[in-house]
Copies of this chain bind each other. A is one copy, B any other.
Amino acid sequence: MPSIVTFLGKGGTGRTTSAIATAKKLATAGKKVLLIGQDSSPAWGMALGMKPSCDPQEMETNLAVVQLNSTVLLEKNWSEVKQLEAQYLRSPILKQVYGQELGIIPGMDVALALNAIREYYQSNKYDAIIYDGSGGIDPLRMFGMPEILSWYFRRFRGIFTESDIVKTLSPFVGPVTSAVLNTTWTANDITSNTDNPATRMLENGTEALSQGNVVAYLVTTPNPTALATAKYLWGSAQQIGLQVGGVLVNQGQSTDDISANFAPLTVSSLPSLDDSNWQALIAGLPAMSGKVDLPKPTEFVMAERKIKVFLPGFDKKEVKLTQYGPEITIEAGDQRRNITLPPGWRGSSVTGAKFQNGYLEVTVG
């Protein structure tokens, strides 16, 4: 499967420049690369030096680029929704609504982008996918979506099974969800506890993250707020199980302080992009090939009955732990992660927790 590389950092620190340089580097090394841009404004094309479109097009040898456009993606997905509805319902009701009249509501950009990335990922056309997302927390919401949504499915499936509503709901929810997740779903799947394609798809998504197929690089400048944002996003990425592969410092040199602050990550200083001379920038990038050998976001130490969660970038006071039956919930960085206890530990309670050196260590009695 292709590797997916993305970049996290405060706006204006050079995420797009880093993404383009990475794409060029991998393409020059002979990999088939797709560079995906979330930014729909003309600024993205200006950074590329070409006019991208919403279908992949060759920018240079081995390197294709595509600019995501939510209105176009929504139209395409809507026609799939209607086809599925027509298969499942005797009297389809959605056929009167046209994809061309649907507006974008919050969350659609990210869900449509994740689905597009999934399609390119499974297309067998690329060795590497570089995703130049938007700033802030959005890319983390996106990569965190499979695990969190799959939690919602599991949690609410149990609850809905007890409800009368589900039997009428299921023929409708099924096809709609299917189209977005590109799986087929029968009415029984919603309430059954066995694997269904939608859950499997979400679990595949979660697995892609946990196996290190997706790697994020932190992008920053030596500016204190940019550094604080990068550190916060590092912890927040761990929170959703997204591996961070290193730190790229733009618009200035890294210092010993910066390196110490981000240990054990490798910190690279990138030269500025002068007159579209990408070569110097590419030479400054770290290797970026192969998997990242760094602490796993979550580790179960069975013998010690301990769960070790690597949460760099957070202060002790910012991490909150609660337990509900067989799951523990960790809250940090405006995110929540639910970790299900291993089967042998069910019925046990958390007996202790300490947070030090970026690790949350939870002891289960």
Interface residues of A (CB under 8 A from B): 10-13, 38-43, 46-47, 69-71, 91, 93-94, 96-98, 100-111, 134-138, 141-142, 144-145, 147-149, 151-152, 155-156, 159-160, 162-165, 168-169, 172, 224-226, 228-229, 232-233, 322, 324, 327, 329, 331, 333-338
Contact = CB atoms under 8 A, between A and B. Distances in A.
Nearest to A44: B225
A148 B105 contact: yes
Nearest to A235: B41
18 contacts: A10-B43, A41-B136, A41-B232, A43-B226, A47-B225, A71-B335, A71-B336, A93-B159, A97-B155, A100-B329, A101-B155, A101-B324, A101-B336, A104-B144, A106-B142, A109-B141, A134-B136, A136-B138
Closest 6 CB pairs of A and B: A11-B11, A12-B12, A107-B107, A106-B110, A103-B148, A40-B334
A142 B109 CA distance: 12
A239 B343 CA distance: 53
A324 B98 CA distance: 9
A144 B108 CA distance: 13
A155 B13 CA distance: 42
B71 A225 contact: no
A228 B43 contact: yes
A228 B41 contact: yes
A247 to B, nearest CB: 16
Contacts of A168: 164-165, 168-169
Given A10-B43, A93-B163, A104 B228 contact: no
A335 B103 contact: yes
B159 A329 contact: no
A93 B40 CA distance: 41
Nearest to A328: B101
Contact of A11 (B12, B102, B141, B327): B12
Contacts of A40: 137, 333-334
A362 B45 CA distance: 30
Given A106-B107, A106-B110, 20 more contacts: A10-B11, A11-B12, A11-B13, A12-B12, A12-B13, A42-B228, A46-B225, A100-B322, A100-B329, A101-B324, A102-B336, A103-B335, A104-B334, A105-B141, A105-B148, A106-B109, A106-B111, A106-B142, A106-B145, A109-B141
A42 B98 CA distance: 43
Given A70-B334, A136-B135, A156-B97, A108 B107 contact: yes
Contacts of A102: 336
B104 A107 contact: no
Contacts of A322: 100-101
Contact of A43 (B103, B232, B334): B232
A262 to B, nearest CB: 15
